[in-house]
């Protein structure tokens, strides 16, 4: 596998290896820009080799394309990394997957029916601290993460315990283990569980168990740090102030408001290396990897990953987790053996109305069809 080096980060032509000219992939990412997104960087590893390309712009008002080795916020892809660390600690005998979570985190008074597995699979019923959207249309807000209020306070620090206590002050959405509902709170609890069991920070455990062994030098667990390493494309947020539309560069922000629900930073190269190694059995023993990719019947969610069908013309099952956070989207797809992957980042102008949400689903479907031959992408409501 040829590594893309920083000396070529600002090249504007299509990047590919093994002389594989793949115009269909370049066309696909140019179509993403046509949907209204600012820029995209895409990396594909398959039987034809490695292909890397970008389209659109890195920042508003300029013409340079996004760097093909750029850093970006990966949103809910953070959950896959976090679930992997928990399962690695299960493999080390330090956590029991079906143990009550309260045994590890007694200070929160969690319902004893909530197990570690339920946290990783979103079956705990715990309120989502970024807000809940119910089937009848009812919305129960959580912390501010949209609109001018969020923009004005985007450097505020939240501690994970604060987010958990806010969530636990609200009723359970359902009895633990009886249903499925995407909740960022589950993964903040997973972070606190990791830190309690190991006596180390999540960043330290991530480095010990994943980043170090795989050489993921472009991946960060930022905690409260607002900056993204260079090179990177820029993210924006649009809101209305006294009847006037304002657009703000939000590339820098304190991501502690989402914590382990979606705070990590990575690159398309590192996401490829990670998901390929994970699915290839290099991070987890086979029985635990099998547990990870065992889908919940309601939505096809395993432990930190979505498990979906690639469609009648595709390669069967694909494993994925996507993420979106404040002007960035991250895509991560793999075949179950890690032999074929798609990793991508999209930068765009975000807003409270999520005006690009429908386009985002079309974009995902277009890329999955191009690389895996068919199918559609599962996405959680408000996946961040």
Lowest mean pLDDT among 13-17, 175-179, 325-329, 333-337: 13-17
User: What tens digit of pLDDT does each residue of 140-154 get?
Assistant: 999 999 899 999 999
SS3 317: strand
d(CA 250, CA 328): 10
Nearest to 321 by CA among 353, 269, 354, 274: 274
State the catalytic residues. Answer: 76
Q: Which token pair is 186?
A: 């589950």
pLDDT of residue 215: 98
User: What tens digit of pLDDT does each residue of 102-141 get?
Assistant: 999 999 999 999 999 999 999 999 999 999 988 888 889 9
pTM over 0.85: yes
Q: Which token pair is 294?
A: 């065992």
Asked if residue 4 has pLDDT above 70, the reply is no
Q: Where are the beta strands (DSSP E) in the chain?
A: 15-16, 39-46, 49-56, 72-73, 132-133, 139-140, 236-241, 244-249, 265-266, 306-309, 317-320, 323-325, 328-334, 341-347, 349-351
Asked if residue 101 has pLDDT above 70, the reply is yes
Q: Which residues contact 234 (CB under 8 A, 6 or more apart)?
A: 38, 58, 59, 60, 249, 251, 327, 347
Q: Which token pair is 175?
A: 């009895």
User: What tens digit of pLDDT does each residue of 174-212 get?
Assistant: 999 999 999 999 999 999 999 999 999 999 999 999 999
């Amino acid at each position: 596998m040829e590594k893309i080096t920083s000396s070529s980060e600002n090249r504007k032509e299509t990047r590919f290896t093994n002389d594989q000219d793949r115009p269909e992939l370049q066309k696909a990412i140019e179509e993403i820009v046509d949907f209204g997104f600012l820029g995209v960087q895409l990396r594909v590893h398959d039987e034809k080799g490695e292909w890397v390309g970008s389209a659109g712009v890195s920042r508003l008002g300029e013409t340079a394309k996004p760097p093909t080795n750029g850093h970006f916020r990966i949103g809910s892809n953070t959950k896959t990394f976090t679930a992997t660390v928990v399962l690695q600690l299960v493999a080390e005998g330090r956590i029991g997957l079906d143990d009550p979570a309260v045994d590890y985190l007694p200070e929160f008074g969690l319902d004893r029916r909530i197990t570690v597995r339920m946290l990783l699979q979103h079956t705990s019923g715990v309120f989502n601290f970024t807000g809940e959207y119910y089937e009848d249309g009812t919305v129960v807000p959580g912390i501010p993460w949209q609109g001018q209020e969020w923009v004005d306070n985007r450097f505020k620090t939240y501690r994970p315990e604060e987010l958990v206590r806010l969530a636990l002050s609200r009723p359970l959405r359902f009895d633990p283990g009886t249903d499925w509902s995407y909740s960022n709170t589950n993964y903040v609890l997973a972070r606190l569980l990791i830190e309690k069991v190991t006596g180390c920070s999540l960043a330290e455990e991530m480095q010990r168990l994943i980043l170090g062994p795989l050489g993921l030098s472009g991946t960060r667990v930022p905690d409260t740090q607002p900056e993204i390493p260079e090179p990177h494309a820029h993210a924006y947020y649009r809101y209305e102030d006294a009847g006037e539309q304002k657009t703000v560069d939000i590339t820098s922000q304190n991501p502690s408001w989402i914590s382990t629900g979606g705070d990590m930073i990575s690159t398309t190269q590192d996401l490829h290396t990670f998901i390929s190694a994970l699915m290839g059995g290099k991070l987890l023993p086979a029985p635990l990897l099998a547990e990870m990719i065992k889908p919940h019947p309601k939505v096809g969610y395993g432990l930190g990953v979505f498990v979906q069908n690639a469609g009648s013309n595709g390669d069967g099952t694909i494993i994925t987790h996507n993420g979106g956070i404040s002007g960035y989207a991250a895509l991560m797809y793999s075949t179950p053996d890690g032999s074929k992957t798609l990793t991508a980042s999209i930068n765009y102008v975000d807003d409270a109305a999520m005006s690009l949400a429908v386009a985002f689903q079309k974009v995902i479907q277009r890329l999955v069809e191009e690389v895996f031959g068919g199918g559609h992408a599962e996405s959680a409501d408000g996946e961040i």
